[in-house]
Amino acid sequence: MSSVPFTPDLSIKPEVTAFFDAPTNTISYVVKDPSSDACAVIDSVMDIDYAAGRITYDGADRIIAYIREHNLKLEWLIETHVHADHLSGAPYIQGKLGGKLGIGENITIVQDTFGKIFNEGTEFQRDGSQFDRLFKDGDSYSIGNLTAYAMHTPGHTPACMTHVMGDAAFVGDTLFMPDGGSARADFPGGDARTLYRSIQRVLSLPGEMRLFMCHDYGPNGREIQWETTVADEREHNIHVGKDATEDAFVAMREARDATLAMPRLIIPSLQVNMRAGRLPPKDDDGNVFLKVPVNGL
């Protein structure tokens, strides 16, 4: 795996607005091209009251209101990966504002894996066709006049991508803030050694590159944060900073992952997100159901 398959332009500084979802500790972003009214939405959230089986859209509506208030044109909705801890709000936002929905091409691996776990029938397409664009490593796309690049950074999941836009990179769950370390690698298709190597790709970006996290949990009681730099991660990240070795990282990550419980919303999240944020099909009576695979995860 090469380091970085493109040359980032740090002279371009997109405007980044964050939206924090407290129930899932997720940060979504509106990224605006600094030279036009075009924007992208990254890792949006659809709300669910899991115990009640109730879907709402408060978080997505805040993003929609912001885009409309600032007279922006939504061109892309980006999923950095298939999230296991929140449901995507991308199709809902797309229905209101338009734009194309994109994810990494290895969504097909995730769909095949979890299509089996959730015993989906042949009507569930496992070819990524629920999305408008499947990104390969090094692919580019435009947000107005801003060129964005997709960099494959698997390990947490096979489909994880880091999206680089000027001097800003959106890392999904590949990295956390320096005092948070890194994400787990024990989901089906995850791998700690692969994750380490992907993190090294991110850390090979220029030191002044801004990095934006998908999650933050406020370690040791600090306030929630979501922006750091490559240089800060290289120096201070508790899992990979100061030249931590690959073998040491793998040993730490695998031991730590063995102690972690499954995310609270993993069952509804995977069923919805592997469908690009759409709910499963209605039954003959017009009802929608989510499955619980017993001893399947």
What's the mean pLDDT when you consider all of the chain?
Answer: 95
pLDDT reading at 297 higher than 80: no
Q: Are 230 and 224 in contact (CB under 8 A)?
A: no
Structure tokens at 20: 């924090």
Q: Are 111 and 274 in contact (CB under 8 A)?
A: yes
Residues 6+ apart with CB under 8 A from 82: 103, 107, 110, 114, 157, 159, 270, 273, 274
Of residues 202 and 121, more confidence is placed in: 202
Q: Which pLDDT band, with edges at 50, 70 and 90, does 119 fall under? A: confident
User: Can you tell me which residue has the tokens 């370390």?
Assistant: 181
- If you average pLDDT over residues 56-67, what whole number do you get? 97
CA distance 125 to 128: 7
